[in-house]
């Protein structure tokens, strides 16, 4: 027999557990909803993203610090042409046996002394190494300034590429959502047909599989958007725990004026404007000055030095008269008198002629020459990379222009097909399935058109980047 009392108690306990579980779930969900609503979502447009990147980029900050450091090196090299100036002072106390000239006895004495002086040294000639050092510092500063300019452009380039990925992902989600809705409507239509017996059950199973594939595609697109936003947040150096939504530029604001670029003109413009090329040229000029510095070791050096000093001692005595027995009377010479009487000065010229330095100078010159040759090779390689970059950007732009025409034609055709299908459906000459498919094609064509617009405009910005004419301070979308 079944114990109905235990069965009833078990059933009641299960119901209570279920009720508690539901309440807990609702409470947790409400707390999560409250937390999510309390968290503000920051909206960021494309131009705002560029400004944020310029302010937060660690690479830009590091480049600015490098420029400041090199400016200090230039000032130091300029100061090498000036003489140095040093002051020195010191005091001492000596305790020991001394000879008293008045009593002719050895006595224990304590002698205090004080000295001070000033000296200066100036290099008159060092094989032009000071001139070359200043020139090298200025060339290195110029190279860092060009590197900093290119770094700013690269940061904007990274924002462009990552923002474009986010826009594409958002448009892909819209297309997937519209497709899923169309598949849902079609699934309901087929379900009605199957229930009425006008369609086989296999059609329903097939549509269910198609609907599941659409759901999977939407989930993949949402995951792509999430990952793309994460990468963009990293590029912008934003708080990863905050919520952001990136606003797509208005497609109506995209300037569709097609520029007739000339590939050779683009390459020549890049050679003139690319900051990384100018940086490498400045780097080569700096290394050339390094060769001059190394060769300066072959020349003699000439230095001028001068100094003045004075001192005081508590043991110093001055004769102020004679005693009745003819013995000289002495007293401690005053402090000021000693400083005045003990003054001395000096100046000198010192020339040093290198005769043999164990081939250190020759080895240093050879190393600098090798560094110079490698820098020239790097410049040649960089110029080749510039040509390839510009050509690739030019080809991508031409493809974007063609895609504009194709997507415009496709969208107009899809729009006209939708209008015709809508009219046929209104008079009963078409089915809901045909209308839904036509709507899906129009939605897809519209999404492709918007993506083509953004691709076209961003490709123009990329051409500016590879030319070296991309200015981060200007708005890319007016």
Q: Is 78 exposed, middle or buried (0-12, 13-18, 19+ CB in 10 A)?
A: middle
Lowest mean pLDDT, pick from 7-21, 212-226, 433-447: 7-21
pLDDT band, residue 99 (cuts 50/70/90): low
pLDDT mean over 185-200: 83
pLDDT band, residue 350 (cuts 50/70/90): very high
Q: What is the pLDDT of residue 102?
A: 58
Residue 243 burial (CB count, 10 A): 11
Domain residue extents for the chain: 43-82+126-298+359-467, 85-123+301-352
Query: Hey, which CATH number is domain 43-82+126-298+359-467, 1.20.1600.10, 1.10.357.10, 3.40.630.30, 1.10.10.10?
Result: 1.20.1600.10
Quick one: residue 128, left, alpha or beta (phi over 0 = left, psi -120 to 50 = alpha)?
A: left
Question: The tokens of 290 are what?
Answer: 């390094």
Residue 388 burial (CB count, 10 A): 10
Using DSSP, state whether 128 is helix, strand or coil: coil
Q: What is the pLDDT of residue 326?
A: 67
Alpha helices in 307-359 (DSSP H): 335-341
pLDDT mean over 342-352: 93
- 127-147 in b/e form (b: 16+ CB < 10 A) is bebbbbbbbbbbbbbbbbbbb
Question: The tokens of 78 are what?
Answer: 């300029």
Longest dimension (CA), the chain: 155
**Dihedral of the CA atoms 396, 401, 406, 409 (nearest 10)?**
160
pLDDT band, residue 475 (cuts 50/70/90): low
Residue 216 burial (CB count, 10 A): 11
What is d(CA 135, CA 81) in angstroms, rounded to the nearest whole number? 13
**Could you report the per-residue pLDDT of 30-43, keeping only the tens digit for each?**
444 444 444 588 99
**Could you report the per-residue pLDDT of 221-266, keeping only the tens digit for each?**
999 999 999 999 999 999 988 999 998 777 677 777 888 999 999 9
Lowest mean pLDDT, pick from 178-182, 238-242, 278-282, 307-311: 178-182
**Could you report the per-residue pLDDT of 388-443, keeping only the tens digit for each?**
999 999 999 999 999 999 999 999 999 999 899 888 877 778 776 787 788 788 88
What is d(CA 447, CA 102) in angstroms, rounded to the nearest whole number? 115
Report the candidate in 154, 245, 173, 167 with the shortest Cα–Cα distance to residue 462.
Answer: 154
Lowest mean pLDDT, pick from 8-17, 115-124, 228-237, 288-297: 8-17
Q: What is the pLDDT of residue 3?
A: 44
What is d(CA 340, CA 342) in angstroms, rounded to the nearest whole number? 6
What is d(CA 293, CA 130) in angstroms, rounded to the nearest whole number? 8
């Amino acid at each position: 027999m079944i114990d109905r009392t235990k069965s009833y108690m078990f059933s009641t306990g299960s119901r209570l557990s279920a009720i508690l579980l539901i309440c807990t779930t609702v409470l947790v969900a409400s707390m999560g909803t409250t937390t999510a609503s309390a968290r503000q979502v920051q909206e960021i447009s494309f131009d705002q993203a560029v400004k944020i990147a310029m302010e937060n980029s660690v690479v830009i900050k590091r480049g600015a610090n490098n420029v400041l450091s090199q400016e200090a090196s230039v000032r130091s090299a300029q100061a090498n042409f000036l003489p140095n100036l040093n002051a020195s002072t010191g005091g001492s106390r000596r305790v020991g046996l001394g000879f008293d000239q008045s009593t002719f006895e050895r006595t224990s004495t304590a002698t205090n002394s004080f000295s001070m002086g000033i000296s200066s040294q100036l290099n008159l000639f060092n094989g032009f190494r000071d001139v070359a050092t200043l020139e090298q510092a200025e060339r290195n500063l110029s190279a860092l300034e060009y590197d900093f300019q290119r770094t700013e452009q690269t940061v904007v380039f990274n924002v462009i590429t990552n923002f474009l990925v986010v826009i594409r992902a958002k448009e892909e989600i819209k297309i997937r959502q519209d497709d899923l809705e169309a598949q849902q409507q079609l699934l309901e239509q087929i379900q009605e047909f199957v229930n009425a017996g006008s369609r086989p059950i296999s059609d329903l199973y097939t549509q269910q599989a198609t609907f599941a594939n659409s759901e999977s595609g939407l989930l993949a697109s949402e995951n792509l958007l999430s990952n793309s936003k994460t990468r963009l947040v990293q590029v912008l150096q934003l708080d990863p725990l905050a919520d952001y939504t990136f606003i797509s530029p208005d497609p109506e604001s995209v300037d569709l004026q097609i520029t007739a670029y000339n590939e050779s003109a683009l390459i020549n413009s890049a050679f003139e404007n690319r900051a990384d090329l100018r940086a490498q040229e400045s780097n080569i000029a700096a290394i050339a000055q390094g060769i001059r510095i190394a060769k300066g070791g072959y020349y003699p050096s000439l230095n001028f030095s001068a100094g003045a000093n004075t001192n005081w001692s508590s043991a110093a005595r001055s004769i102020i008269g004679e005693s009745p027995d003819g013995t000289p009377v002495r007293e401690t010479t005053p402090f000021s008198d000693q400083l005045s009487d003990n003054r001395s000065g000096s100046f000198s010229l010192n020339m040093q002629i290198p005769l043999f330095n164990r081939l250190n100078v020759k080895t240093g010159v050879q190393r600098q020459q090798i560094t110079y040759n490698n820098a020239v090779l790097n410049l040649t390689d960089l110029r080749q990379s510039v040509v390839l970059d510009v050509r690739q950007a030019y080809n991508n732009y031409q493809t974007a222009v063609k895609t504009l025409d194709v997507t415009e034609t496709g969208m107009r055709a899809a729009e006209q097909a939708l209008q015709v299908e809508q009219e046929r459906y209104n008079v009963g000459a078409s089915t809901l399935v045909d209308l839904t498919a036509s709507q899906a094609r129009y939605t897809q064509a519209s999404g492709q058109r918007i993506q083509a617009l953004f691709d076209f405009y961003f490709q123009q910005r990329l051409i500016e980047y590879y030319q070296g004419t991309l200015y981060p301070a200007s708005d890319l979308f007016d």
